[in-house]
Amino acid sequence: MEGTREAKRRVQRTAYSPEYYRRRNARKRLTERWLETEHGGPPGRPVAGLPADQVRVTPEGQVWARAWHQFVWIRKKLYCRGSCLKVSLSVRANGITQHGAKTVASLVCRAFHGPRPLGCVPWHYPDPSPTNCRADNLRWAPRGTRKLGVPSPNSSRFGYDRPSPTLKLTPASVRQIRHLYRSGSTYKALADQFGVSRSYIGKIVRRWTWKHVT
């Protein structure tokens, strides 16, 4: 019993030592903060569908969340998941706290371009990079707009101006595959010629994939 109490005291002394406070304050200084008393109000604009007193977004694509019971806003850290930027948020509404990840592009569009229309997704234009989430580079567009060849001339799923390093086919080669198949070539011959599998050639011919290429 005495050993357990001594261990608890040792942990408490370590947790509340001057070194602990020094490290905690250093972490706080690294976190960018926004004081309403200094700036005269909260940062950015509210997001449609989220409480205006908890989440705000700036035109530069920054996401701010209010610290509980304080007139202080903390800039949230963004992280890349897949091919888009995301942010972890905790929103409290009707006495229930919901935790989850939100897409930064969607938050910016909802804040500066209104609620999401039915069947639309955020579209990065003129810069197709998914990391550019500025308000002037985003807008709502019908799903599949990026696959029409605007603004990116390639079919890379990452949406950059440069082609994907793993991309084996281009729209021109897809048109050539369909033309050669109509001319009498077999799946096996086309697969050997273009370096892909026979099943993938079949999907291209049946338009199960590369549907946007005519």
> So what's the pLDDT on residue 66?
84
Put simply, whether the predicted model's pTM sits higher than 0.85 gets the answer no
> So what's the pLDDT on residue 11?
56
Rounded (5°) CA angle 97-73-127: 95
User: 129 pLDDT band (50/70/90 cuts)?
Assistant: confident
Parent domain of 184: 171-205
Q: Which distant-in-sequence residues (6+ apart) come within 8 Å of 160 by Cβ? A: 128, 129, 152
The reply to whether 25 and 35 lie within a common domain is no
Determine, yes or no, domain membership for 163: no
Higher pLDDT, 113 or 34: 113
The reply to whether 15 and 48 lie within a common domain is no
Determine, yes or no, domain membership for 69: yes
Determine, yes or no, domain membership for 26: yes
Determine, yes or no, domain membership for 211: no
pLDDT(105) > 90: yes
SS3 (DSSP) at 88: strand
pLDDT(141) > 70: yes
The phi, psi pair for 192, rounded to 5°, reads -70, -35
> So what's the pLDDT on residue 38?
66
Report how many domains make up the chain: 3
The reply to whether 130 and 36 lie within a common domain is yes
The reply to whether 142 and 86 lie within a common domain is yes
